[in-house]
Amino acid sequence: MSGRGDHYFSEMPQAASQAGTVQMRLSDLELQLASDTGVFSHGRLDAGTRVLLERAPMPQIRGDLLDLGCGYGPIALTLATRRKRAKVWAVDVNQRALDLVRENAKTAGRGNVVASAPDDVPDDVRFAVIYSNPPIRVGKAALHELLVRWVDRLLPGGSAVIVVHKHLGSDSLASWLNEQGFPTTRLLSERGYRLLQIQPRA
Ligand SMILES: C[S@@+](CC[C@H](N)C(=O)[O-])C[C@H]1O[C@@H](n2cnc3c(N)ncnc32)[C@H](O)[C@@H]1O
């Protein structure tokens, strides 16, 4: 990523814009998405995100859906296409990412996507499911805080499904979540990516 001090999780990426497109082909849908520099996985679908989108179970209960750390929006747009009647919250700190999600939702005709900074999601919103390819690079403490903040907003019977590579601490993260009282299980492991399912704490 270019730009001194620029990360994919910068609020205002400094890297000069270089728009690109991602042709996302999944087993059940195809979407053309805009991406840009300064945003995670510019120009391609991340391999971990693909595992999540192809293999995670869809929610069993009704309610709003959350893409936590949405980037340019491959998860949010997939959820919104699979569940056209559900409201899908696409949350990120990166303003360029949020602009891309808005553009991608408009292009795809998905009026059920709401792109929002974390603090702009009303406090009373609860989620039937959270899907996330979480920002491991923010560091362990910030990652833990992020997960607790949002998993505590699941509806009863809801669950979060996150994808984390085994080399990026998936197994210790699962142990930590269990220690905090969030029942967490490994749904599967594919090409080194673990899918973890996290239930609300009692
Ligand atoms: C690994 S990327 C995944 C992006 C996208 N979901 C994908 O699969 O391509 C993680 C995202 O989390 C975002 N992020 C970092 N800190 C965050 C926070 N505190 N709240 C919400 N999103 C955050 C980053 O800006 C980044 O876009």
Q: Which pLDDT tens digit goes with each residue over 156-173?
A: 999 999 999 999 999 999
Ligand 1 atom 8: residue of nearest CA? 49
Distance 35 CA to ligand 1 centre (A): 14
Distance 101 CA to ligand 1 centre (A): 12
Q: Is 138 in the pocket of ligand 1 (CB under 6 A)?
A: yes
Ligand 1 atom 10: residue of nearest CA? 135
**Rounded Cα gap, residues 160 and 152, in angstroms:** 10
* Domain layout of the chain by residue ranges: 46-198
Looking from the CA of residue 45, the nearest atom of ligand 1 is 9
Q: Which pLDDT tens digit goes with each residue over 1-41?
A: 444 557 777 788 888 888 899 999 999 999 999 999 999 99
> Do the beta carbons of residue 60 and residue 157 sit within 8 Å?
yes
pLDDT mean across residues, the chain: 94
Q: Which pLDDT tens digit goes with each residue over 59-115?
A: 789 999 999 999 999 999 999 999 999 999 999 999 999 999 999 999 999 999 999
What percentage of the chain reaches a pLDDT higher than 90? 88
pLDDT tops 90 at residue 141: yes
Distance 150 CA to ligand 1 centre (A): 13
Distance 140 CA to ligand 1 centre (A): 14
pLDDT score at 54: 98
Residue 38 corresponds to which tokens in the numbers above? 């300064």
pLDDT score at 99: 97
pLDDT score at 47: 98
Strands laid side by side in the 64-68 sheet: 113-116, 88-91, 64-68, 127-132, 154-165, 193-198, 184-190
194, containing H or E segment: strand 193-198
**If you ran DSSP here, which 8-state letter would residue 14 be given?**
-
Distance 185 CA to ligand 1 centre (A): 22
> Do the beta carbons of residue 96 and residue 79 sit within 8 Å?
no
Ligand 1 atom 6: residue of nearest CA? 70
Mean per-residue pLDDT for 178-196?
97
**Rounded Cα gap, residues 92 and 73, in angstroms:** 10
This model's pTM is above 0.75: yes
pLDDT score at 5: 58
pLDDT tops 90 at residue 125: yes
pLDDT score at 26: 98
pLDDT score at 8: 75
Q: Is 135 in the pocket of ligand 1 (CB under 6 A)?
A: yes
pLDDT score at 3: 46
Tell me which architecture the domain covering 46-198 has in CATH: 3-Layer(aba) Sandwich (3.40)
